[in-house]
Structure 1
Amino acid sequence: MKKVLVTGGSGFIGSHVVDKLAAAGVEPRIFDMVQSPFHPEGTVDTYIGELGDLEALTAAMQGCDAVLHLAAVADVGQVALDPVFAEQVNSKGTLNVLQAARDAGVGRVVYASTIWVYDGFSADQVDEDSPLGLPKHLYTATKIAGEMYCTSYAELYGVEYTILRFGIPYGTRARPAAVVPQFVKKALAGEPLTIAGKGDQTRRFVYVEDLAEGCVAGLQPQAANRVFNLVGTEETTILEIAEVVRDLLGDVDIVHVPGRPGDFKGAVVDHRRAEQELGWTATTSFRDGVVKYLDWHRETHAGERTAEPVADPSGD
């Protein structure tokens, strides 16, 4: 691979993927709605545009060997508030990415999906071959639609895909609405940490730099037309997240509020395929990742002590 387009390359995960591509000797190109705040103008080839603009996407893909498609409405709360917009970005946007790749002759589309796709399948443990049931949340529905478009374009038009089902990403550059940033801000402000339900929902978190390395690993030839779970090796409950933040930042209260409809209850997500086929595994423990986030937060948000709304227990 010589040049790879990263949709959503200005964002939380995408900006780290851009860095990992460059470190691997691959030239990254960003396609996003805004200039990356983490890459000064002129340092990374950047195309400003929207997923709804097929012509702009096709132009951005010219000369690229692959596309890492990360752009999406990732906040499940926003999806629930505006499902039509979420469908246009997540589902139709993915269709446009695949069509643009076909038109531009791009060899591979690596699609960022989510372990939320397993929520419709009742089991204690899931892997990449587990059947996907009908989704309970609109966000999940949009991501499954994107997966289906990937497999359809491979079958009909020969556009290679790699589907990466992300665990719950966290770490430096995270969006403020995610669970760890919310808890950290509240704890620093001395506010109670609010949890939806009992907090016994389990999550497979994955530190963002580990995840970005997994995205780059997904470009390997053996990943063609394959699905991989990119998750951490620990099962962490929402309550344990709050307890880790409390332990690191001080004695704050933990308050329980009513649960949220459509929430992913959690299952053990098998991660062995990525390790065996791609040589990838997450290496950062949840606690160490929170410490890294805290160090970054203190450097970049010094003086901020504003409490935030109830934390999104999906963490997605």
Structure 2
Amino acid sequence: MSRGDEVIGFDSLNDYYDVSLKQARLARLLDQRGYTHVQADLSDRAAVENVFATHRPQRVVHLAAQAGVRYAAQNPHVYVSSNVTGTLHILEGCRHHGVEHLVFASTSSVYGANRAMPFNEHQGTEHPLTLYAATKKANEMMAHSYAHLYGFPCTGLRFFTVYGPWGRPDMALFLFTKSILAGEPIKVFNHGHHRRSFTYVDDIVEGVVRALDCPPGKDAAWDGMNPDPATSGVAPYRIFNIGNEQPVELLRYIEVLEECLGRKAKMEMLPLQAGDVPDTEADVSSLVDAVGYRPQVSVEQGVSNFVAWYRDYYRV
């Protein structure tokens, strides 16, 4: 909006986590010029069709999903409804209303059982370890088929462990901060030894907007015999990683949080959870080549920013 774009926001404001946090986020946008909000569910086909028909968006950024790796074990059907059916409705809207570029969120979780580090988009992703990852892999394949059949450019962005102000309360940084301030123990899985490409939210936003401004064309280097998973010779389609290239061990992440809070954590050491991968590490060279941007905010700065926001928002 700050650069003059008009934005149609679409969100169900469901109760997967604290609705008041979602409403507080939204309140920052509602009075701004150029913003229109629609409260509806992506799995509601008529509601999605109505938004496309009414507003005729030029470009679409599809970030909505049922997130969380472990919640899928409790409620698998909502993942298919939100992530698969919801994405189908977005693709149909783009198809029928001349959208010039669709950018959609995928996840580093699609790398699944792959252990070749760093993860890059040219590796196979055929072995997801969770239903969440499987639905996001399905989104990538659905988008490719629509890009091929109907010719509108699609860009998928694989996010790596996003954190920062206004984030999800079910994420580790939120849970750790709340527990440490309350003097309660935190659960540290894999004894804190797994590593993640923790990626600050501002880095994600910058990558999303830059990708939105660079729709893909067809990749000429296609022989049909050994296709590249990240590109396509038959469709205007591209996959990029967005993640910090400097993975951080969980114990270091906790140490930084302790420094920012001025308190030590009481840690309950536990084994790796089912479905979790030991490490993630992002190779973002393709993103750099395509849009000239590399995520760069350190965990020291990012966690500090989060703690400042958390203390202000929760008055603690």
TM-score grouping bracket, smaller chain normalisation: 0.7 to 0.9
Instruction: Tell me if the contact between 1:124 and 1:267 (Cα under 8 Å) persists in the aligned partners.
Output: yes
1:179-258 equivalences under 5 Å are: 179-223=172-216, 225-249=237-261, 250-258=263-271
Deviation by residue 1:145-179 (Cα, 9 ceiling, x = unmatched): 00000001011121320000001110000111111
Instruction: Tell me if the contact between 1:187 and 1:245 (Cα under 8 Å) persists in the aligned partners.
Output: no
Q: Does 1:99 align with 2:92?
A: yes
Q: Displacement of 1:80 after TM fit?
A: 2.0
Instruction: Tell me if the contact between 1:222 and 1:277 (Cα under 8 Å) persists in the aligned partners.
Output: no
Deviation by residue 1:178-209 (Cα, 9 ceiling, x = unmatched): 11111111111122222112222211111111
Q: Displacement of 1:36 after TM fit?
A: 4.8
TM-score relative to the length of structure 1 = 0.84
Partner of 1:50: 41
- 1:102 is paired with a residue whose SS is helix
Q: Does 1:266 align with 2:272?
A: no
**RMSD across aligned positions (CA):** 1.7
Q: Does 1:27 align with 2:6?
A: yes
Q: Displacement of 1:54 after TM fit?
A: 2.1
- Aligned mate of 1:83, from 76, 80, 83: 76
Write the distance in 2 (CA, Å) between the matches of 1:252 and 1:81: 29
Q: Displacement of 1:42 after TM fit?
A: 4.7
Q: Displacement of 1:60 after TM fit?
A: 1.7
Instruction: Tell me if the contact between 2:244 and 2:282 (Cα under 8 Å) persists in the aligned partners.
Output: no
Write the distance in 1 (CA, Å) between the matches of 2:102 and 2:120: 21
Q: Displacement of 1:33 after TM fit?
A: 1.0
Stretch of structure 1 that moved more, 37-46 or 112-121: 37-46
Partner of 1:140: 133
Q: Which runs of 5+ in 2 are unaligned?
A: 14-21, 218-236
Deviation by residue 1:225-268 (Cα, 9 ceiling, x = unmatched): 21111101320122222222122221232220232111122243
Partner of 1:299: 312
Partner of 2:167: 174
Instruction: Tell me if the contact between 2:242 and 2:284 (Cα under 8 Å) persists in the aligned partners.
Output: yes
- Aligned mate of 1:289, from 302, 305, 311: 302
Q: Displacement of 1:59 after TM fit?
A: 2.3
Stretch of structure 1 that moved more, 267-276 or 179-188: 267-276
Regions of 4+ moved over 6 Å: none
Compared with structure 1, are the counterparts of its residues 83 and 65 closer, same or farther at alpha carbon in structure 2 (3 Å cutoff)?
same
Deviation by residue 1:112-153 (Cα, 9 ceiling, x = unmatched): 001111123231322111111221111100100000000010
Give the percent of matched residue pairs that are identical in Structure 1 and Structure 2.
32
Instruction: Tell me if the contact between 2:119 and 2:282 (Cα under 8 Å) persists in the aligned partners.
Output: yes
